[in-house]
């Protein structure tokens, strides 16, 4: 029995080693775009949103039947640093020419140096840690780097005079939240805002009574939440339980709260947030994307999806302007794309007139939104 299993396993191993070698040679007329993100596990919601949005964008571009045709492949990295390296390797085995990066920050920090090393163009939709783009000159971000959002939020609160005492609840074990929190605090000090309570939580937390009590006891009238919408929804519900009703101010991670299945949108009434994307925007591009996403997957796209959609279109624009075609190697493409991204401006659904610095950071304006009767309304 043991021997049977052992030989069987050895055989499987040998076969897979050999079969896995055969790929990579075939040349087609389509440019191969690879992407990866958590498609299973507890962060799957983000990866799946990106995968779906990228697919919609690629299908749209291919339907135009122009010269540029894309082929898309998404691999699962389970939001795990070591699986991320495997997913990247699987993509290069497939012959990836342009890389949409990882969806989450941790995996981005692993694959960005790999892509820099292989000289494959890297544009992450949502990996927001500032360190990612430091991996190489071919690494770009579509979302804001975290520090931007923190200082923008502080300026907004100051400018609009939302309140005099601010409480912050952040998530201490994800870099997204920590990055925003850090810059918010330093900017708030600079602007003379009074931060009366700072408390944190960690992944899998469900009870926020301690943090809410701290904010309430400190008499805070503004509650700043640089966190994702799942936890935000729990915090809003628990605030209501203890009759605490401050002005709630969120960041782009808060987007998606209104479309949470089962969420009582009245809890989010008057919540303000800074986000580059709103699914309710009236422009044609956004409406078209939201409609398609809704038809295909029966849900409203969040900002992860929107950023990925923009990534594909930004690459499309650069490919056309730089006159790239599928016969080029990934490295040749990379050099041309870098040239394009450093100079071009791009209009997408997460902002107009976007441009990239040579460091890889994006410049776009966050929009201030307030939730009224369950929909976003522009703050300005």
Partner 1 sequence: MKFLSNLINGISLGSVYAIIALGYTMVYGIARMLNFAHGDVIMVGAYICFFAIYSFNLNPVIGILMAVVVCTVLGVVIEKLAYKPLRQATSLAVLITAIGVSYFLQNMAQLLWSANPKVFPTIINGSIKLFGGELSISRTTIVIVLVCALIVVGLSIFVNHTKMGKAMRACSEDKEAAQLMGINVNKTISMTFAIGSALAAIAGVLMCCAYPNLQPTTGSMPGIKAFTAAVFGGIGSIPGAFIGGILLGVLEILGSAYISTELKDAIVFLALIIVLLVKPTGILGKKIHEKV
Partner 2 sequence: MKNSNNAPRSNFLSNISKTTRSNFITYGIIIVVYVIMQILVNAGAVSNLIRGQLIPICVFATMAVSLNLCVGILGELSLGHAGFMSVGAFTGAVAIACMESAIPSPILRLILGMLIGAVFAAIAGVIIGIPVLKLNGDYLAIVTLAFGEIIRSIFTNVYVGLDSAGLHFSILNRIKAAEDGKMIINGAIGLTGIKPIATFFMAALLLLVTLIIVFNLINSKTGRAVMALRDNQIAAQSIGISIPKFKLMAFVISAAIAGAAGTMFAENYSTMLATKFDFNTSILILVFVVLGGLGNIRGSIIAAAVLTLLPELLRSVKDYRMLAYAIILIVVMIFKNSPSIQAKMALMRSKKTARKKTKKASIGKEA
- Chain residues that interact with partner 2, rule: CB under 8 A: 1-2, 5-6, 9-10, 12-13, 16-17, 20-21, 23-24, 39-41, 75-76, 78, 80-83, 85-86, 88-90, 92-93, 106, 109-110, 113-114, 129, 131, 135, 172-175, 178, 182, 202-203
Count of chain residues binding partner 1 (CB under 8 A): 34
3 state SS of 7: helix
In the shown chain, the binding pattern of residues 249 to 268 toward partner 1, with x for contact by CB under 8 A and - for none, equals -----------xxxxx----
Question: Which residue is listed with tokens 């191969």?
Answer: 32
Contact pick of 27, 202, 284, 380 for partner 1 (by CB under 8 A): 202
Name the pairing type of β-strands 375-378 and 362-363: unpaired
Contact pick of 137, 151, 186, 200 for partner 1 (by CB under 8 A): 200
Query: Closest distance between partner 2 and the C-beta of residue 34, in Å?
Result: 12
Half-sphere exposure of 251 (CA within 13 A, CB side): 31
Q: Which of 346, 363, 368 is nearest to 277 (CA)?
A: 368
Which residue number, 53 or 109, has a Cβ lying nearer to partner 2? 109
Counting contacts by CB under 8 A, is residue 241 touching partner 1?
A: yes
In the shown chain, the binding pattern of residues 103 to 142 toward partner 1, with x for contact by CB under 8 A and - for none, equals ----------------------------------------
- In terms of C-beta density within 10 A (0-12 exposed, 13-18 middle, 19 or more buried), how is residue 320 classed? middle
What gap in Å lies between CA 283 and CA 287, rounded to an integer?
A: 6
Which residue number, 96 or 281, has a Cβ lying nearer to partner 2? 96
Query: Closest distance between partner 1 and the C-beta of residue 168, in Å?
Result: 13
Name the pairing type of β-strands 351-356 and 70-76: unpaired
Contact pick of 31, 33, 48, 53 for partner 1 (by CB under 8 A): 48
Q: Which does 109 bind (CB under 5 to 8 A by kind): partner 2, partner 1, none?
A: partner 2
3 state SS of 332: helix
Query: Closest distance between partner 1 and the C-beta of residue 329, in Å?
Result: 36
Q: Which ranges of 20-80 does DSSP label H, i.e. alpha helix?
A: 44-63
Q: Which two tokens stand for residue 136?
A: 């190489």
Query: Closest distance between partner 1 and the C-beta of residue 224, in Å?
Result: 16
Query: Closest distance between partner 1 and the C-beta of residue 217, in Å?
Result: 7
What gap in Å lies between CA 149 and CA 141, rounded to an integer?
A: 14
- For residue 137, the Cα-to-chain-centroid distance in whole angstroms is 20
Radius of gyration of the chain (CA): 22
The answer to whether 292 touches 332, Cβ cutoff 8 Å, is no
Task: Look up residue 28 and give its DSSP letter.
Answer: -
Q: Under the rule (CB under 8 A), what is the footprint of partner 1?
A: 40-42, 44-45, 48, 172-173, 199-202, 204-207, 209-211, 213, 217, 230, 233-234, 237, 241-243, 260-264, 299
């Amino acid at each position: 029995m043991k021997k049977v299993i052992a030989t069987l396993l050895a055989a499987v191993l040998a076969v897979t080693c050999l079969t896995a070698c055969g790929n990579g040679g075939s040349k087609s007329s389509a440019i191969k775009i690879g992407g990866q993100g958590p498609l299973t596990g507890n962060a799957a919601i983000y990866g799946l949103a990106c995968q779906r949005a990228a697919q919609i964008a690629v299908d749209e571009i291919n339907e135009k039947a122009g010269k540029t045709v894309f082929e898309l492949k998404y691999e699962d990295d389970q939001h795990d640093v070591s699986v991320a390296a495997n997913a990247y390797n699987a993509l290069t085995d497939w012959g990836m020419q342009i890389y949409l990066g990882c969806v989450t920050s941790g995996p981005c920090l692993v694959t960005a140096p790999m892509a820099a090393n292989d000289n494959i163009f890297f544009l992450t939709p949502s990996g927001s840690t500032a360190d990612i783009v430091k991996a190489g000159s071919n690494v770009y971000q579509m979302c804001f780097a975290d520090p931007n959002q923190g200082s923008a939020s502080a300026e907004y609160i100051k400018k609009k005079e939302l309140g005099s005492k601010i409480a912050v609840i952040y998530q201490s074990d994800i870099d997204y939240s920590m990055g925003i929190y850090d810059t918010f605090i330093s900017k708030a000090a600079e602007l003379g805002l009074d931060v009366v309570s700072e408390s944190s939580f960690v992944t899998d937390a469900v009870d926020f009574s301690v943090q809410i009590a701290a904010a309430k006891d400190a008499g805070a009238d503004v509650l700043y939440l640089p966190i994702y919408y799942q936890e935000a929804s729990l915090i809003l519900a628990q605030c209501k339980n203890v009759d605490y009703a401050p002005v709630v101010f969120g960041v782009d991670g808060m987007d998606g709260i209104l479309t949470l299945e089962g969420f009582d949108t009245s809890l989010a009434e008057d919540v303000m947030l800074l986000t580059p994307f709103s699914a309710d925007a009236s422009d044609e591009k956004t409406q078209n994307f939201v409609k398609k996403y809704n038809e295909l997957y029966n849900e409203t796209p969040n900002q992860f999806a929107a950023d990925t959609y923009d990534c594909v279109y930004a690459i499309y624009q650069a490919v056309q302007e730089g006159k790239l075609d599928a016969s080029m190697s990934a490295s040749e493409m990379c050099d041309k794309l870098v040239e394009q991204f450093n100079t071009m401006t791009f209009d997408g659904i997460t902002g107009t007139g976007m441009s990239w610095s040579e460091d890889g950071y994006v410049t776009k304006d966050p929009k201030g939104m307030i939730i009224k009767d369950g929909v976003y309304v522009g703050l300005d």
